[in-house]
Structure 1
Amino acid sequence: MTGVRDLALQAKAWPFEEARKLVARFAKAPPAKGYVLFETGYGPSGLPHLGTFGEVARTTMVRRAFEAMSDIPTRLFCFSDDMDGLRKVPDNIPNREMVAQHLGKPLTRVPDPFGTHDSFGAHNNARLRAFLDGFGFEYEFQSSTDWYTSGRFDEALLAVLRNYDQIMGLMLPTLGEERQQTYSPFLPVSPATGRVLQVPILERDADAGTIVFEDEDGRKVELPVTGGNVKLQWKPDWGMRWHALAVDYEMYGKDLIPSADLAGRICRILGTQAPEGFNYELFLDDKGQKISKSKGNGLTMEEWLRYAPEESLALYMFQKPRAAKRLYFDVIPRAVDEYLTFVEKFDAEEPARRLENPTWHIHRGQPPAARSPLSYNILLNLAGVANAENKDVMWGFISRYAPDATPANSPFLDRLVGYAVAYYQDFVKPAKTYRAPTDAERAALEDLLARLEALPPGAKADAIQDEVYAVGKAHSFPELRAWFQALYEVLLGQSTGPRMGSFIELYGIGETKALIREKLGA
């Protein structure tokens, strides 16, 4: 363990760089609470999505990196802001009219439109837990409603009340003039209607721990800020939560940097060191626009997992988190093949290099034997040439190429086959555009056909590739790339493609010869 720790302390992968912040934070003494607390937040007015996965996956990577460096115990809280008032009725739920009658109420007091849980908040919290459990994340679920109503936030809320003026001094300059007139960190829950109210605070008594406001029926009401009678505005709530829980690490999107700064300052006003932070870049769609749930642009969680394994998505989240990246369907094949490459390399790498390998971070230092004799791109091209409608067609070719591989003993490969068929049917097949060969290309294809005829039975990929190269060099192509592009466009109906030697071995020399003859019109 000491050897791994020494290597981890020097490792350059970004989760180790982040974890070293925590090592330095507790260099003099461990945390008084006895553990290092990581946190992620979740707004349960909607369903979990790619951003939810990314935040928990990346936070877990930093947590594991810290555990490789330190013996201090760690915990991860996935915190649901389920006491927020429901601002609008989501479009994708049943019984929308019923839910509309409860606008403004805490999500945990809105009836569940699906009829399966005690509240809409409880329903979405259950979806969040099922989502996280499905990926095997280790976390502890925390409910804002539970913390407020159980009294566990009471001391922190009283501290906010005592420091009211200082917190207002931070918040008011960040607001517009009209908003400044009514703003308060405290949002009282109306005793009359149960709604979370954004109203001015008329009086406050720090000694008594109460506030006075005008309720929706016009009456002046005095309420304690404890016991679930109020909810904080989200930025003060964030800082208060960091203080109350003594959060040590939380990451957030680049768009929340100003909010995180305010939350950190509020946390310090309340007397607690703000957590270490990490801001990540946001994802872009295929046109370079920021992905928005309301716009529906970009790629959803369900879509990625229809076409690729979750390990490839975890790799995508690991890579360059501070760089804006396109998150669209065409990034999937490369992500899968890069994952396969990193897994394949891991066992042969020196211990120090393993800590830089993304699969160490994806699989807690122990990547599985998720080997595949075929790349995802090769499988996609096979699906295209074979016009595969199902996995059985694909396995007919694979079994000849790798006789020892079966769906039963190669389950990861079998998963990839299923993903490739789905991706081919949905994206590759509709976009295929074949063209006829030019006279020069026709001559080269006829030469390739003759060379394939002359190969011995059972010729392997390298020998086939040599012949493909030889044809390209023997004919009048300005560069070999033009020859390979011609093969892809004429034979496969696309502008890019696989290593032809490997592909021809997989598809079969006989089948390839028939394909060439078809395209030559012979």
Structure 2
Amino acid sequence: MTTLRDAAMNSKAWPFEEARRVLKRYEKAPPKKGHVLFETGYGPSGLPHIGTFGEVARTTMIRRAFEIISDIPTRLLCFSDDMDGMRKVPENVPQQELLYANIQKPLTAVPDPFGEFDSFGNHNNAMLRRFLDTFGFEYEFASATEYYTSGKFDEMLMLCAERYDAIMAIMLKSLREERQQTYSCFLPIHPETGRVLYVPMKNVDAKNGLITFDDEDGREWTLPVTGGKVKLQWKPDFGMRWAALDVDFEMYGKDHSTNTPIYDGICEVLGGRKPEHFTYELFLDDQGQKISKSKGNGLTIDEWLSYAATESLSYFMYQKPKTAKRLWWDVIPKAVDEYHQQLRAYATQPVEKQIDNPVWHIHGGQPPESNLVVPFAMLLNLASVAGASDKAGLWGFIKRYAPEATPETHPDLDAAAGFAVRYFHDFVAPTLAFRLPTDKERAAMEDLLKRLKTLDRVTSSEPREIPTNSAELLSEDGLQSMVFAVGKEHGFEPLRDWFTALYEVLLGQSQGPRFGGFIALYGVSETIALMETALAGGLIKA
């Protein structure tokens, strides 16, 4: 019998592949620090977006996979680069003038435009932590400001001063000639203005840990590199942090991939061992542009959670991390239904398949049972034809389709019904475009209507007159067979053209549910009424 660890060591699921790479670092000896450190980085220059969440979600999946194949303890550190200077003012926050007045100051020294925290950086940090806590992540939060000002980085900053030339040699090779003339890996914090200065160094005193420079007005200053008086440029900061904390794994977006040799080189110059990396593809908005904190394009975590449960977002993050993905409203229904499909499949799978199933990684090896007996896409269509204004308007139909279901026994379904009504009214209803059928389509729909009327009349007759196979006829499969047969008999080729016609004429959309399942959920007599209205042109807006 295959054990979980044996299966994990052979799994092709990407979290296990990455976990095995991390484990290989310690095949000769365990880590001296006593644990394996996974890290994620976050720049709080704007409101957190889903890409930030994705790094923590995916790193957590790799961490959990590692814990299956190894007994070495693990930690996950979520590090905020909140001492970075605010170089741009985000477009999607209030009090723009206040922020412009504090440009170039460390984010934890910029006033909070929302008036809730003592700085903009701390506001965004709090938002990130709230989002991560919503998903139940196990992590430790770290602030660059706290690490720099408390002295936690002092020893490494002194080493940066000592090995300044080696760090600069790595950096200068990556810069244009003009930039080389003014570049320094050290960024002093101006003692008077509090701004982060991008100025060249006149002198680096490695023995005493001092830097000398001229500010933007030509005045000379000398500052210690320790105690939060100076920080590192972001690329050297990456490598310094890896060396200081002995980071074993960090992932980042494809836009960082060309910098990997720089990060690694600086880490090694400072005596560290470069971590394992994982580069993921970027998330795109509806126009195919990279999502950005400063632009505020793409979806926020709160926006996704207004229309679907947290697990659907985790499922979206699991899928093909090395493929660029469009992150827009219309991906939500698909993510919900695919997540529950995988959840239903999990219970019957052998362990080798279970650990390759996304839900294993979403739930840390303990996925729940799915009770979403009606697909989310079907609930959206039901919300449309039923004219439901809240989830209670859907439950009468759901009860007929699944008599055993109640909001109490099927909380996933109850929540999904509420999400579906909201999603329909916000995104689907404004785009509905009904049309009349062509002559060929009308003939087929009238044939289907006739058969449904016959079925409705027969199954509602006196009990002794009801056919013994009535349950089969009224089942989702039985109704689907009927719809399928009508399309074939009326010469639709390919058959998808028949179903597209049903969706466009009856539902106002070019795509839709398995139509037999829709009839079973909505009801035969209700579907008859819907078809009669549609064929008479009653669904088309004047």
Superposition TM-score tier, normalisation by shorter sequence: over 0.9
- 2:311 paired with 1:282: no
- The equivalent residue for 2:193 is 193
Instruction: Tell me if the contact between 2:45 and 2:294 (Cα under 8 Å) persists in the aligned partners.
Output: no
Deviation >6 Å, runs of 4+: none
2: CA distance between counterparts of 1:240 and 1:179?
22
- 2:520 paired with 1:505: yes
- The equivalent residue for 2:533 is 518
TM-aligned CA distance change 1:420 to 1:195, over 3 Å: same
Q: Which aligned pairs between 1:266-305 and structure 2 lie closer than 5 A?
A: 266-305=266-305
2: CA distance between counterparts of 1:100 and 1:491?
53
Instruction: Tell me if the contact between 1:76 and 1:139 (Cα under 8 Å) persists in the aligned partners.
Output: yes
Q: Match for 1:496 among 511, 518, 539? A: 511
- Return the offset for 1:204: 1.4
TM-aligned CA distance change 1:461 to 1:228, over 3 Å: same
- Return the offset for 1:338: 0.7
- 2:141 paired with 1:141: yes
Matched to 2:168, the amino acid is M
- The equivalent residue for 1:469 is 484
Aligned residues: 522
Does the residue aligned with 1:26 lie in a helix, a strand or coil?
Answer: coil
Instruction: Tell me if the contact between 1:104 and 1:195 (Cα under 8 Å) persists in the aligned partners.
Output: yes
Q: Deviations over 1:405-443 (max 9, x none)?
A: 122221111111112112211222122122222222222
Q: For structure 2, which runs of at least 5 residues remain unmatched after alignment?
A: 461-470, 538-542
Instruction: Tell me if the contact between 2:49 and 2:299 (Cα under 8 Å) persists in the aligned partners.
Output: no
Q: Which aligned pairs between 1:103-122 and structure 2 lie closer than 5 A?
A: 103-122=103-122
Matched to 1:452, the amino acid is L
Does the residue aligned with 2:3 lie in a helix, a strand or coil?
Answer: helix
Instruction: Tell me if the contact between 2:91 and 2:296 (Cα under 8 Å) persists in the aligned partners.
Output: no
Of 438-447 and 392-401, the range deviating more from structure 2: 438-447
Q: Which aligned pairs between 1:470-489 and structure 2 lie closer than 5 A?
A: 470-489=485-504
Instruction: Tell me if the contact between 2:212 and 2:223 (Cα under 8 Å) persists in the aligned partners.
Output: yes
TM-aligned CA distance change 1:362 to 1:260, over 3 Å: same
- The equivalent residue for 2:464 is none
Does the residue aligned with 2:28 lie in a helix, a strand or coil?
Answer: coil
Instruction: Tell me if the contact between 1:343 and 1:371 (Cα under 8 Å) persists in the aligned partners.
Output: no
- Return the offset for 1:197: 1.2
Does the residue aligned with 1:408 lie in a helix, a strand or coil?
Answer: coil
Of 48-57 and 101-110, the range deviating more from structure 2: 101-110
Instruction: Tell me if the contact between 1:190 and 1:216 (Cα under 8 Å) persists in the aligned partners.
Output: no
TM-aligned CA distance change 1:436 to 1:323, over 3 Å: same
TM-score, with normalisation over the residues of structure 2? 0.92
Instruction: Tell me if the contact between 1:16 and 1:65 (Cα under 8 Å) persists in the aligned partners.
Output: yes
1: CA distance between counterparts of 2:9 and 2:441?
56
Of 203-212 and 323-332, the range deviating more from structure 2: 323-332
2: CA distance between counterparts of 1:481 and 1:399?
30
Does the residue aligned with 1:262 lie in a helix, a strand or coil?
Answer: helix
Greater relative contact order (Cα 8 A, min sep 6): structure 1 or 2?
A: 2
TM-aligned CA distance change 1:112 to 1:469, over 3 Å: closer
Q: Which aligned pairs between 1:232-381 and structure 2 lie closer than 5 A?
A: 232-381=232-381
- Return the offset for 1:216: 4.9
1: CA distance between counterparts of 2:500 and 2:113?
54
1: CA distance between counterparts of 2:114 and 2:283?
31
Instruction: Tell me if the contact between 1:383 and 1:394 (Cα under 8 Å) persists in the aligned partners.
Output: yes
Q: Which aligned pairs between 1:398-417 and structure 2 lie closer than 5 A?
A: 398-417=398-417
Does the residue aligned with 1:182 lie in a helix, a strand or coil?
Answer: coil
- The equivalent residue for 1:396 is 396
- The equivalent residue for 1:383 is 383
Does the residue aligned with 2:105 lie in a helix, a strand or coil?
Answer: coil
- The equivalent residue for 1:224 is 224
1: CA distance between counterparts of 2:115 and 2:501?
58
- Return the offset for 1:192: 2.3
Matched to 1:190, the amino acid is H
1: CA distance between counterparts of 2:96 and 2:106?
16
- The equivalent residue for 2:52 is 52
- 2:41 paired with 1:41: yes
2: CA distance between counterparts of 1:351 and 1:29?
30
Matched to 1:499, the amino acid is R
**Percent of matched pairs sharing the same residue:** 62
2: CA distance between counterparts of 1:287 and 1:115?
33
2: CA distance between counterparts of 1:188 and 1:486?
66
TM-aligned CA distance change 1:83 to 1:463, over 3 Å: same
Q: Which aligned pairs between 1:411-450 and structure 2 lie closer than 5 A?
A: 411-450=411-450
Alignment RMSD (CA, Å): 1.9
TM-aligned CA distance change 1:496 to 1:2, over 3 Å: closer
TM-aligned CA distance change 1:218 to 1:489, over 3 Å: closer
TM-aligned CA distance change 1:296 to 1:84, over 3 Å: closer
